[in-house]
C-alpha cells in the first residue's frame, strides 16, 4: 500500500485508474466464463447444469485473483492507455494466453475435488469464454483511445489546426502522422505527404494523401496552405536532405528535421519531440566523416595527452573526444583562463574519474613549456593554440608570428626533446597561397613541422636551436642575445640526455576549412545580426568558403594521429564550397524571415587580408589517399630546412622588435604568400 502513496500520502491519478481497472478485470474475467454457460442454457440461469455450474463457482474466485497477478506481471496496469498501440495489444494477447492455460488447468483440477461428480466442461466453455475475456480486456484498454480519436476528429473539423506537410512516407513518417493527427493536441494536422517513391503516390496513410515527390513540395504548400514542413527521412543521405531543404526553404514554412540519431533506432517509437529545428549545418549537405573509433581508442588509450589551446573551439572539442577514450592523463594548456576553466568544469562533471590537469601558460614561454613537458612527459600533443582572426592579425602581424610560428616551434621543440611520440598541428586552408598574415603564419607552422620531422628522421636534431628571448639588465629587449650555435647545441644535448632514447617524435599537420560554431565563424555573427533585426553584413556577394562542423574537424585531427608516419599534411575533402551570401540568406530563412524584406543584406567589401576563395591544397602538393576516403595527404613542398631555421630565427627577432617590414620578411620565406598591401592602423 505504501507504494501507492506519494510523498503527501495521496494516491496518484494513474494508480486510481489501475485500481479501477483491476476491479473491472476481476468482474470481467468472471463474467466472460459465465457467459458460455448462460448462452448454452439459452439465457436461463436456472437451466445451467449443476455439473457445470459447481466447478465454475468453485474456481472462478481463484481464477480472478490469478488473472490480476498475470495482468500485473504483463504490465496491463502501467500503460498510458490514451497512447495504446500494438505493444499494448501484444501484452493483452500474452496475458490472455497465459490466463487461458490457467483456466483450463484450474477447471480440470477442480473436477477432481471431493463430492464432485466428474463431468468434463464442454469445449465451447473454454473457446467462447476466452474470446469474451479477450474482448472485455481489450475494449477496456482501447476504448479511451478510440474516444479521444473520435473527439479529436470532431475537434479537427471545428478548430483551427496548423496545416503541416510531411516529407517521408516510411515508418518514421507514419509514427509522426499517428501522433500529430491522433487528437490534434499540438494544434497541428498533417494534411499531405511528399515521398520520392512513385509506388506510394496517389495512396494515403491514415487518410492523409501522398501527393507525389519532392517536386510537389512548393505546389502542395500553396494548395494546402501549409504553415510547417516536417522532414522524417532518417535513412536519407546528407546530400538528399540538403536538396529537400533547399526546396523547402523557398517557402515561408517553419522547417523541422528528424535528428540523425534516429537512423539507428526503432522508427516506430519516433515522435514529434524527436524533430529539431533545421540548422545551417543541415544545409551544407555533406556526409559526416566516418571515423574508426576502435583505431582511435587504441591510439589514445592509456596515454598521456596534451592539448594546447585546449579551451578554444577546436581544442575543447578535442578534449571532450579524448576524455571519452580512456587516456592515462589529459593535460589542457591555455593562456586564457576563462576558457580553460569552462572545459575543466565540464570534463570533471562528465568524466569524474579522468586524470585531468589544467595549466595556464603561453606557447611563447619556452621555460614554461620545458617545465610542463619535463614533469608530465606527454606522449601525444595536439597543438591547437593559435591566433586565427584574419583581419585582427593584419593589424598585428608581429603577434601572429610570435604566437603561431614561434609558438609552434617552441612547443614542437619541447615535445621533441622530452620524448613525445606524436605531435599533431592544427592548420588551416588559409595556409594555401595565403594573402593574409594569419594564413602565412600557419604556413610557417606547417614548415616548422616539416623541418622538425625531417631533422628527426635524419638524426640531425642538433641542427634545431632552442629559440628564446632575453632582456638586458635595464629591462630592454636585446634580440642579439638570442641563443644559437653552441648554446643551442648544449641545450639540445642536455634535453636529449633526459630522454630514455634519441628524439623520435613524429610531426604531422591537419588542414581544414572554416568551422561552423567556432569563435571565429561567421554564423554566430549572422545570428546575432538577425536577432537584432539586421542588417546582415556580407563582405562580397561572390565570396566562397569551405565549411565543416567542429566534431568533423576533431574527428579528422584524431584520425590523422592514427595515420601519421611523420611529415604529412592531412587534408579533409570538404565537398563543394559555400557562398557566404547564400549562407546568410539561408540563416535568415531558417529564422522564419525573408532576406532583403524582413532582414537587409549589406555588402561591406573584402576585409584586410581576405580573399574571395580558399584553397585546400597548393597545386604542387598533389594528393594521396588514406583508408578514410574523405581524408587525403598532401605531398609536402620541399624547401631548404637549414635556411628556413636561420630565416625563422631572424623573423622572430623582427617580430619581437615590431619590425614594420615583417610581412615582406614572411613573404621572403613563404614563397606562396602574396600580401595585399600594408594595413594602416
Query: Which residue among 108, 123, 151 closes a domain?
Result: 151
Same domain, 182 and 140: no
Residue 80 in any domain: the answer is yes
CB 137 within 8 A of CB 96: yes
Same domain, 194 and 89: no
| Residue 663 banded pLDDT, cuts 50, 70, 90 | very high
Same domain, 221 and 144: no
Same domain, 442 and 581: yes
CB 679 within 8 A of CB 394: yes
Query: Which residue among 106, 128, 151 closes a domain?
Result: 151
Residue 480 in any domain: the answer is no
Quick one: what percent of the chain has pLDDT higher than 70? Answer: 79
Average pLDDT estimate for 467-476: 51
Same domain, 396 and 378: yes
Residue 242 in any domain: the answer is yes
- Which range, of 176-185, 397-406, 653-662, averages the lowest pLDDT? 176-185
Query: Taken in order 367, 372, 377, 382, is the CA torsion positive or negative?
Result: negative
Q: What is the tens place of the pLDDT at every residue in 203-246?
A: 888 788 999 999 999 999 999 889 889 988 887 777 788 888 88
What is the chain's mean pLDDT, rounded?
A: 80
Q: What is the C-alpha separation between 479 and 469, in angstroms, rounded?
A: 7
Same domain, 121 and 229: no
Residue 310 in any domain: the answer is yes
Average pLDDT estimate for 248-266: 69
State which residues form the domain around 258: 160-278
Same domain, 145 and 165: no
Same domain, 440 and 317: yes
Q: How far is CA 590 from the centre of its chain?
A: 20
Residue 328 is predicted with a pLDDT of 95
Same domain, 316 and 263: no
Same domain, 128 and 216: no
CB 385 within 8 A of CB 403: yes
Residue 287 is predicted with a pLDDT of 64
Q: What is the C-alpha separation between 397 and 539, in angstroms, rounded?
A: 22
Q: What is the tens place of the pLDDT at every residue in 20-44?
A: 888 888 898 889 888 888 888 877 7
| Contact residues for 349 (Cβ-Cβ < 8 A; gap 6+) | none
Average pLDDT estimate for 521-527: 79
Residue 678 in any domain: the answer is no
Q: Would you call 80 helix, strand, or coil by DSSP?
A: coil
Length reported for the chain? 681
CB 430 within 8 A of CB 438: yes
pLDDT at 497 over 60: no
Residue 89 in any domain: the answer is yes
Distances (CA, A) of 255 to 191, 292, 529: 15, 33, 21
Which letter does DSSP use for residue 312 in this model?
S
Residue closest to 210 by CA, chosen among 174, 260, 158, 182: 174
| Contact residues for 204 (Cβ-Cβ < 8 A; gap 6+) | 210
Total domains present in the chain: 3
| Residue 484 banded pLDDT, cuts 50, 70, 90 | very low
Same domain, 127 and 164: no
306 φ, ψ to 5°? -120, 135
Q: What is the tens place of the pLDDT at every residue in 548-570?
A: 778 777 877 787 778 878 778 88
Residue 546 in any domain: the answer is yes
Residue 58 in any domain: the answer is yes
Residue closest to 507 by CA, chosen among 571, 465, 450, 462: 450
Which letter does DSSP use for residue 477 in this model?
B
Q: Do the strands 631-634 and 624-625 form a parallel or antiparallel pair, or are they unpaired?
A: antiparallel
Q: What is the C-alpha separation between 639 and 620, in angstroms, rounded?
A: 13
Residue 535: asked if its preceding bond is cis (omega within 30°), the reply is yes
Residue 667 is predicted with a pLDDT of 93
| Contact residues for 212 (Cβ-Cβ < 8 A; gap 6+) | 194, 201, 220
- pTM comes to 0.64
Same domain, 42 and 88: yes
Q: What is the C-alpha separation between 421 and 213, in angstroms, rounded?
A: 54
Query: Which residue among 104, 129, 151 closes a domain?
Result: 151
212 φ, ψ to 5°? 145, -160
Residue 105 is predicted with a pLDDT of 82
Q: What is the tens place of the pLDDT at every residue in 571-585?
A: 876 666 778 888 888
- Which CATH number do you get for residue 371? 3.40.50.720
Amino acid at each position: 500500500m505504501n507504494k501507492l502513496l506519494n510523498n503527501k500520502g495521496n494516491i496518484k491519478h494513474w494508480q486510481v485508474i489501475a485500481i479501477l481497472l483491476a476491479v473491472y478485470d476481476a468482474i470481467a474475467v468472471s463474467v466472460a466464463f459465465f457467459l458460455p454457460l448462460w448462452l448454452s442454457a439459452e439465457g436461463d440461469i436456472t437451466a445451467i447444469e449443476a455439473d457445470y455450474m459447481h466447478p465454475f463457482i468453485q474456481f472462478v474466485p481463484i481464477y480472478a485473483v490469478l488473472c490480476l497477478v498475470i495482468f500485473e506481471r504483463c504490465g496491463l496496469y502501467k500503460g498510458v492507455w490514451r497512447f495504446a498501440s500494438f505493444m499494448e495489444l501484444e501484452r493483452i494477447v500474452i496475458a490472455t494466453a497465459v490466463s487461458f492455460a490457467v483456466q483450463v488447468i484450474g477447471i480440470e483440477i477442480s473436477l477432481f475435488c471431493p463430492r464432485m461428480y466428474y463431468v468434463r466442461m464442454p469445449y465451447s466453455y473454454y473457446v467462447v469464454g476466452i474470446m469474451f475475456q479477450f474482448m472485455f480486456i481489450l475494449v477496456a484498454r482501447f476504448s479511451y483511445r478510440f474516444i479521444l480519436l473520435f473527439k479529436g476528429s470532431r475537434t479537427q473539423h471545428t478548430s483551427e489546426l496548423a496545416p503541416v506537410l510531411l516529407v517521408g512516407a516510411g515508418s518514421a513518417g507514419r509514427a509522426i502522422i499517428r501522433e500529430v493527427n491522433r487528437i490534434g493536441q499540438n494544434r497541428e494536422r498533417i494534411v499531405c505527404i511528399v515521398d520520392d517513391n512513385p509506388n506510394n503516390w496517389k495512396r494515403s496513410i491514415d487518410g492523409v494523401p501522398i501527393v507525389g515527390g519532392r517536386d510537389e513540395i512548393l505546389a502542395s504548400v500553396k494548395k494546402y496552405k501549409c504553415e510547417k514542413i516536417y522532414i522524417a527521412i532518417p535513412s536519407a543521405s546528407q546530400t538528399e536532405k540538403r536538396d529537400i531543404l533547399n526546396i523547402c526553404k523557398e517557402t515561408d514554412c517553419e522547417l523541422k528535421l528528424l535528428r540523425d540519431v534516429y537512423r539507428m533506432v526503432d522508427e516506430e517509437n519516433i515522435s514529434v519531440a524527436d524533430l529539431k529545428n533545421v540548422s545551417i549545418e543541415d544545409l551544407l549537405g555533406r556526409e559526416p566523416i566516418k571515423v574508426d573509433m576502435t583505431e582511435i581508442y587504441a591510439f589514445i588509450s592509456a596515454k598521456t595527452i596534451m592539448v594546447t589551446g585546449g579551451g578554444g573551439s577546436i581544442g575543447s572539442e578535442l578534449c571532450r573526444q579524448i576524455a571519452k577514450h580512456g587516456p592515462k592523463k589529459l593535460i589542457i594548456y591555455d593562456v586564457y583562463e576563462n576558457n580553460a576553466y569552462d572545459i575543466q568544469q565540464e570534463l570533471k562533471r562528465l568524466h569524474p574519474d579522468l586524470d585531468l590537469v589544467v595549466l595556464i601558460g603561453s606557447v611563447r614561454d619556452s621555460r614554461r613549456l620545458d617545465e610542463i613537458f619535463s614533469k608530465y612527459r606527454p606522449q601525444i600533443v595536439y597543438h591547437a593554440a593559435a591566433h586565427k582572426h584574419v583581419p585582427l592579425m593584419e593589424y598585428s602581424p608581429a603577434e601572429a608570428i610570435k604566437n603561431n610560428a614561434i609558438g609552434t616551434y617552441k612547443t614542437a621543440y619541447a615535445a621533441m626533446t622530452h620524448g613525445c611520440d606524436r605531435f599533431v598541428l592544427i592548420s588551416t586552408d588559409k595556409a594555401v597561397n595565403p594573402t593574409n598574415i594569419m594564413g602565412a603564419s600557419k604556413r610557417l607552422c606547417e614548415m616548422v613541422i616539416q623541418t622538425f620531422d625531417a631533422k628527426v628522421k635524419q638524426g640531425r636534431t642538433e641542427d634545431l636551436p632552442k629559440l628564446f628571448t632575453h632582456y638586458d639588465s635595464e629591462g630592454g629587449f636585446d634580440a642579439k642575445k638570442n641563443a644559437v650555435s653552441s648554446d643551442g647545441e648544449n641545450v639540445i644535448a642536455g634535453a636529449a640526455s633526459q630522454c630514455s632514447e634519441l628524439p623520435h617524435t613524429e610531426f604531422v599537420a591537419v588542414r581544414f576549412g572554416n568551422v561552423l560554431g567556432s569563435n571565429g565563424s561567421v554564423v554566430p555573427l549572422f545570428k546575432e545580426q538577425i536577432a537584432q533585426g539586421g542588417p546582415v553584413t556580407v563582405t562580397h556577394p561572390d565570396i566562397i568558403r569551405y565549411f565543416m562542423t567542429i566534431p568533423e574537424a576533431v574527428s579528422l585531427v584524431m584520425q590523422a594521429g592514427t595515420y601519421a608516419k611523420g611529415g604529412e599534411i592531412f587534408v579533409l575533402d570538404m565537398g563543394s564550397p559555400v557562398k557566404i551570401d547564400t549562407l546568410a540568406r539561408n540563416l535568415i530563412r531558417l529564422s522564419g524571415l525573408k532576406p532583403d524584406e524582413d532582414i537587409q543584406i549589406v555588402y561591406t567589401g573584402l576585409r584586410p587580408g581576405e580573399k574571395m576563395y580558399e584553397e585546400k591544397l597548393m597545386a604542387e602538393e598533389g594528393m594521396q589517399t588514406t583508408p578514410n576516403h574523405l581524408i587525403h595527404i598532401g605531398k609536402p613542398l620541399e624547401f631548404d630546412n637549414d635556411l628556413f631555421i636561420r630565416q625563422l630565427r631572424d623573423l622572430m627577432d623582427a617580430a619581437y622588435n615590431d619590425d614594420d617590414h615583417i610581412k615582406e620578411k614572411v613573404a621572403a620565406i613563404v614563397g606562396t604568400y602574396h600580401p595585399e598591401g600594408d594595413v594602416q592602423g
